[in-house]
Amino acid sequence: MIRGKKRAFFILILAVSIFSAAAQEDDFYDDEEQQEPPFDSEWDFVAPPLYSKGDKTFTISLGPIFPTVFFDNQGVLENRINVAGGTGSLALNYFLNSNLFIGGELGLMFISTRGKNMLFMVPMGARIGYQFILGRFEFPLSLLIGGVPQQYLELNYFGLFLKPEASVFWRFNPSWSFGLNTAWWFVPQWSEHTVFGNFIELTLSARYHF
């Protein structure tokens, strides 16, 4: 009878030991599974692109414009335009992907001559550009190609207009960014006396994102 009790007690102790070891093994694997990162955690550091196809911006720009050099087929001409004038523009851009964009622009420029007369231009055209992004700073580079009606006294002319431009914008919030633009205006006039005009634009911009 005593021997049978010892045998039963031994079997009970053995069963408890096996169950305890199995429980510890399950806890070990559970801890390992908890320590392992989820499958997609390695992508947590990848931020989505700031721009995507279909995003648009509307930009208002204002600032001074400076005449640089005027020349014809014979060489450089005397500059009879004052040091600076004013310019402004409205532009709409459409993003084809996170960096590449196209758009259009309508502007206005006025500048006086040394004879106290005014030269007016209304440039308009289509734009293509590429934008680099570094943190909250955005650096669009673009080229505008179009036409420009010009008026000086009773003279009117419509000709080609080219405007390469480089800008830097600071993203204030998801809807607005503010920046500085510098652009080169190439304004040729083909007539009896062909003249190639060149101006530098320096403007401040407010840009709305939608």
Please write the tens of the pLDDT for every residue from 117-173.
899 999 999 999 999 999 999 999 999 999 999 998 888 999 999 999 999 999 999
Rounded distance, CA 11 to CA 97, Å?
A: 72
Say how many CA atoms lie within 13 Å of 95 toward its Cβ.
Answer: 19
- Is the pLDDT at 202 greater than 80? The verdict is yes
Which pTM does this prediction carry? 0.73
Look at residue 51 and tell me whether its pLDDT is greater than 80.
Answer: yes
Name 69's Cβ contacts closer than 8 Å, sequence gap at least 6. 76, 79, 198
At 76-103, the pLDDT tens digits run 887 778 878 999 999 999 999 999 999 9
Q: What is the mean pLDDT of the chain?
A: 84
> Can you give the pLDDT at residue 192?
79
From the list 159, 91, 179, the residue with the least C-alpha distance to 128 is 91
Strands 56-72 and 195-209 turn out to be antiparallel
